[in-house]
Every structure is written in structure tokens, then in C-alpha cells.
Structure 1
Amino acid sequence: MKTFKKIILAIIVIAFTSCVDVVDVEVQDGPTRLVVEASLNWEKGTTGNEQTIRLSESSPFFSTGAITEVTGASVVVTNDTSGDEFVFADQGNGEYLSTTFEPVLGKSYSLRIEHDGEVYTAIETMTPVTDITDIFQKREEGFNDEELEVHIVFTDPEEEGNNYLFKFQREGDLLPGLEVGEDRFLNGNEIDWWYEIEEDEDENIEPFQPGDVLQIEMYGISRPYYDYIKILVEQLGGTSLFDSTPVAVKGNCINETNPENYAFGYFRLTQVVKASYTFVEE
């Protein structure tokens, strides 16, 4: 199990004191694409009726401007079995809201977006998640046996195909930690999944301390989404000066009008369980 300690989102500047010449490098911008944030997450114990889809436009890599929100689009999600349609109303700020969505586990749903004369579609299945049965802390299982780690316990169903996305967000931290679990390594077993934060003085990252509050989310995800998010987590968790340049990862949103002008992002339907844990003195 690998812990992704940080996400590096910085521009690295190298200054050579012996060099006084300025070299201008022209970086070509890629085409502007539609960015689809369509994560329909159904928290256990709720109706899941209120869901939001966000649309924006991609920006150049070195851009420091504000995100360009997309308004005026038509956004509809359809239950492929019943034919029920759920219209996501434009809120005028890039968000599209439905308060009548009806999530059904195991059912296929289709997304249809009409924007700027083009039609984008995607298909995904509402994927269930098991329950978290226990949460506790230890110092023995992590990479550093002197630091605290959190453990979440759950029992994976014997049926094949139960993949997971874990999100760990310590209160006060800017970015969460993300990890993924694959069914073939978990199937049918009681799982003790641990997570720690390793100290990094250069990045001002501290390990867990007594009193820290950690928000935990565990999602049941489809196999296609597992393959997609695993690549993103690996890219974000391993970026350095000498790594290969991360490549754009295509999601499941297809441009039916102009396939070359594909969208970024993913249409996913997941069930999620949430919990909070406060570290204590030992």
C-alpha cells in the first residue's frame, strides 16, 4: 500500500548566478477544451437528490488568470433503465444543479451536455460502497514507526468489482491525500487500511499530531474510473523536476459532434461513506 504524501503544484525556477542573458521560450498553448466535473456522490444515509455538475474551460499551463466558467449549456442525466431524466439547471456561475436526482445502485446513467454547438456524452454506473466498521490510530504499521497513522477497517464484499477511492483531509491542510484500492487485492476480506503523513521540512508538512482532526471519505468506484483516477493519483503524487511531463488523461466524456475536441474530466456515480477522526494522546 502506498501513501501519497503530497501533491506538488508549483512552478520550479532555476537561477544561475553566472548567467545574465534572458532566454525567452515560446510555449505553445493547446486547444481550449470543456472541463467536466460531474461527480455524483451519494452519501449513505441521505437521499442523494441534490447533485451539482461543474463546467469550465481549460487554460494554458502557465496561466495565472481566473478559471473560465461555462454557462448557458444544457446538462441532462438519464437513468438508462427507467428513462427518467434529471435536468441540471444553470446557476450562472459554471454550476448546474439538480434537486430531484434519484440514485439507484447498480443502474447505468447517461450524461448529455450541449455546449457551443457540440454534444458531449458519457455513461457510468452507480457503484455501491461497503461500511467502515472501525477507525483507530497506531504507530507501528507506517513507514515511520514513530509517527501516528490512522487505520480504517471495512469488509470487502465477496462479489467481484469492488474498487475504492479514499480521501483523507486533515483540517487546516490545503490539499487532501488520495489513495485507491483494487478489488483483486481486497476481495472478500476484512481490510485494515492505514494512512500516514510523513514529515517534509522543505514543504512544511508535518505528520499527524494528537488533536489533529481528519475527515475520511471512502468511495465505491467503477473499474473504468479506478483506471482513470489511479493514473492521476500517480502523476500528482510523483511529480519532480526529473519526472516525465504528466500527460492529459482522457476521461469518459465523448464529443459526439467533433471527436477530436474531446473534454477533460469524468462523469462518475459513486456511493460514499464519510467519517471524522480526532487523534488522541497515547
Structure 2
Amino acid sequence: MSISKYILTIVAIVSAFIFTSCEKEIDVDLKSSEPKLVIEGLIAADSLATVRLTMSKDFSGNNTFDPVLGAIVSVSDDKGNTETLKIDTSGIYKAINLRGVPGRTYNLKVNVDGQQYTASSTMSPHTVKIDSITMYYIPLFKYAFPMIHFQDPKGSKNYYRELLYINGKRKKMEEDATDTDDREGFYLSRIIPAYKENGSDEDPIKKGDTITVEHQLLDKGAYTFFETLGRIGNSQTNPTNNIVGGALGYFSAYTFDRKTVIADWPE
């Protein structure tokens, strides 16, 4: 992957601005005319495993997604620990005891009406810390984007994804996972694009806002899902996932770091 994936130029930002910003929260199911199970499985370092199950809808359907009830969902690790997840009042299947441990491989099993789906994801043994966050002012937009700075570890190819929170609320963004294909072991800077919402004239980031970035270190399977999700746009294909059995979605075991700054920049 080229260096432009790490340090965006103004040209790249202007080009990206022509695309609609949307929450890629498995709206890939719109590419499937026949309803399919959609799995969103997560286990972060020192966090409980969670799995969200919904059914895909045709493109012409409404944009509400009811949880799939009555599924048997379990997560196990390579140390012999396993737990059957329980559904909560929000429709999310959650573990009570099983937490993510760096370096372990996790296996997901989902059984819905006798059909089994499986996935595996390995959590990195380390966390890549955010060294700092600066605000990158863009005259075209008249506000600044957050830019994270971090040291990529030597000796392994790594895969990253970021989430952005503005005043505690997650910002809708285009998915943009990246790897260290030609930057392994480098000190890296990465802009987190924050575009205006559809139909809104309000700047998404203002001076004085509290900006939090979550910097995730993924395995290759989860990275491939998010990277292809970011590239497919409105094509009639679904992103490459790591789930066996025909479901859409992904399963990701990951480490992460978060850092918060107050937005400010010279103009």
C-alpha cells in the first residue's frame, strides 16, 4: 500500500470528499437480494466478547435491522476457555466472563435454526500506542481533521483501523483500514477524515470539541473485511469476510489504544 494511505495530501482529501460519508455498520447486506445472516463479532483486549446478529435486507427494504433471537452463540480461545453468550435487552449476545487476552486465538460458533457458522481471529500479542494526536487544518473545509502519530513495530506486518468520537459520540466515517505493506517499522502519521453529514452545513469538528481516536490493531482476516468494505462503494459485491458458512459480516479479535485531545488549530 502506498505512502498516501498514511499521510493524506490535500489532493487525496479533496478527491475523497466527493463520496458520501456513511456508517459502514454492515450495510453491505444491501448487496444481497436474498436474506442472509449478518454477524458482527468483537472481542477486544480486556473486554467481553460481543456478537450482534441480524438478517440482511434487499436494497429496497427499510433500514431497520431487528436482532436474530434464539441463536446459540459461543466463543472459545486456544487455552481451552469457552463460553456460551447470552442475549441482552438490546439484542446483543454478550459474554459474562470471557475477555480478550493479547496473543490468543479466538473461535466463534453461531447456530441459527440448525445452520452453523464459524470464524477465527487471532489477537495481536501487543498494542500499538498512539504517540500523539494533532489537528490538521484544511482551508478548503475551514476546520481540522485529527491526525494520529505512532510507531509501527518492527518484525511483523500490521493492520490498523481507527474509530473517531467527537464529544463522546462516534462519528460516521468511510471504512479505511490500512496495512504496513511498505512502511513496516516506520514512525507513521495517519489522518482520520471527518466529513460533514449528508445534507448538513454544520462542521463536524469545532474548536473546543473533545476528540477521541481509537486505534485498533487487527489480524489479517478482519483487516481484509474492512479494507474491502471501504473499497466496494456502491458495487454489487460484498466485502471479503472471515466467516465460514455463508453469513455476511466479520469476527475480530483486536488490541487497541485510545487517546483524547481538545480540538484546536491555527488558521
Q: TM-score band, normalised by the shorter chain?
A: 0.7 to 0.9
Residue in structure 2 matched with residue 232 of structure 1 by the alignment: 229
Compared with structure 1, are the counterparts of its residues 268 and 279 closer, same or farther at alpha carbon in structure 2 (3 Å cutoff)? same
Residue in structure 1 matched with residue 61 of structure 2 by the alignment: 63
Task: Report deviation, 1:71.
Answer: 1.0
| 1:186-225 deviations in Å (ceiling 9; x for gaps) | 3111112223446799653636431233221110011222
How far apart are the structure 2 equivalents of 1:59 and 1:198?
27
Question: In structure 2, what residue type is equivalent to 1:119?
Answer: Q
CA contact (8 A) 2:147 2:189 kept: yes
Residue in structure 2 matched with residue 32 of structure 1 by the alignment: 35
Q: Given the alignment of the two structures, is residue 88 of structure 1 paired with residue 89 of structure 2, yes or no?
A: no
Residue in structure 2 matched with residue 249 of structure 1 by the alignment: 239
Residue in structure 2 matched with residue 24 of structure 1 by the alignment: none
Residue in structure 1 matched with residue 73 of structure 2 by the alignment: 75
Task: Report deviation, 1:29.
Answer: 7.2
| 1:145-204 deviations in Å (ceiling 9; x for gaps) | 964232211111002121100122334676235432212233111112223446799653
Question: In structure 1, what residue type is equivalent to 2:150?
Answer: F
Task: Report deviation, 1:53.
Answer: 0.9
Candidates 207, 216, 219, aligned match of 1:219: 216
Residue in structure 1 matched with residue 132 of structure 2 by the alignment: 134
Moved more, 198-207 or 82-91: 198-207
The RMSD of aligned alpha carbons is 3.0
- Whose helix fraction is larger, Structure 1's or Structure 2's? 2
Residue in structure 1 matched with residue 27 of structure 2 by the alignment: none
The 5 A counterparts of 1:86-125 are 86-91=83-88, 93-125=90-122
How far apart are the structure 2 equivalents of 1:155 and 1:270?
18
Question: In structure 2, what residue type is equivalent to 1:35?
Answer: V
5+ residue gaps in structure 1? 10-27, 240-244, 256-261
Q: Given the alignment of the two structures, is residue 152 of structure 1 paired with residue 148 of structure 2, yes or no?
A: yes
How far apart are the structure 2 equivalents of 1:155 and 1:281?
24
Question: In structure 2, what residue type is equivalent to 1:159?
Answer: G
Task: Report deviation, 1:120.
Answer: 0.8
Q: TM-score, normalised by structure 2?
A: 0.79
CA contact (8 A) 2:40 2:52 kept: yes
Compared with structure 1, are the counterparts of its residues 145 and 107 closer, same or farther at alpha carbon in structure 2 (3 Å cutoff)? same
Residue in structure 2 matched with residue 278 of structure 1 by the alignment: 262
Percent identity, please: 20
